[in-house]
Every structure is written in C-alpha cells, then in structure tokens.
C-alpha cells in the first residue's frame, strides 16, 4: 500500500470515525463509509491540510472513492 493511501486512510478514520479495516481503495465515501455532505467537506479539508494542497470545489465533487482521493493527491501534491 502506498504512503498516500495510508495518510488518506488516517484522515478518513479520524473524520468518519470508522475502523481502519473498513477503508479500502475501492471504498466509496457515501455508499460504503456512510459519509454525509458535511463529512465530505471535512474529508476534503483534512486531505488539504494533511497533504498541503488546495482542492477546488469542482475537483472535490469528483472524489467519490478512496482511490479517487489517492490518485488526485498523488498527481497534485507538491
């Protein structure tokens, strides 16, 4: 597993209060991890803070799975 996945997983566990074993690359934030719209906001905020990047609203809407988040971060991190 990538370092990015591990850090993304840490944010997800902290924000959604789920067990780390529930977080898989193909996990969907809403359907699988039961994130609501506020949770999604806090997830994006957490990713921005953890990886020191900005995710605009349009890009944030396209991040629907853990893999989407990892891929986005890997291509945009400084």
d(CA 78, CA 60) in angstroms, rounded, equals: 18
Q: What is the DSSP string of 22-54?
A: G--TT-BTTTTT---HHHHHHHHHHHHHHHT--
d(CA 58, CA 39) in angstroms, rounded, equals: 17
* Mean pLDDT of the 13-26 span: 97
Give the pLDDT of residue 1.
59
Residue 56 has pLDDT above 70, yes or no: yes
**How many other CB atoms are found less than 10 A from the CB of residue 63?**
20
The model's pTM? 0.93
Q: Is 68 a catalytic residue?
A: no
Among the listed residues 36, 52, 59, 68, the single catalytic one is: 36
For the chain, how many structural domains are there in total?
Answer: 1
Residue 69 has pLDDT above 80, yes or no: yes
Give the pLDDT of residue 77.
82
At 37, which CATH number?
1.10.1200.10
Residue 7 has pLDDT above 70, yes or no: yes
Region of residue 7 (phi > 0: left; psi between -120 and 50: alpha; otherwise: beta): alpha
pLDDT band with cut points at 50, 70 and 90 for residue 39: very high
Residue 26 structural domain: 3-76
């Amino acid at each position: 597993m990538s370092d990015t996945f591990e850090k993304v997983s840490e944010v997800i566990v902290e924000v959604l209060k789920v067990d780390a074993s529930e977080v898989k690359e193909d996990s969907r934030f809403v359907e699988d991890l039961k994130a609501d719209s506020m949770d999604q906001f806090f997830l994006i905020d957490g990713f921005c803070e953890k990886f020191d990047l900005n995710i605009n609203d349009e890009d944030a809407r396209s991040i629907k799975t853990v893999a989407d988040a990892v891929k986005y971060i890997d291509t945009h991190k400084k």
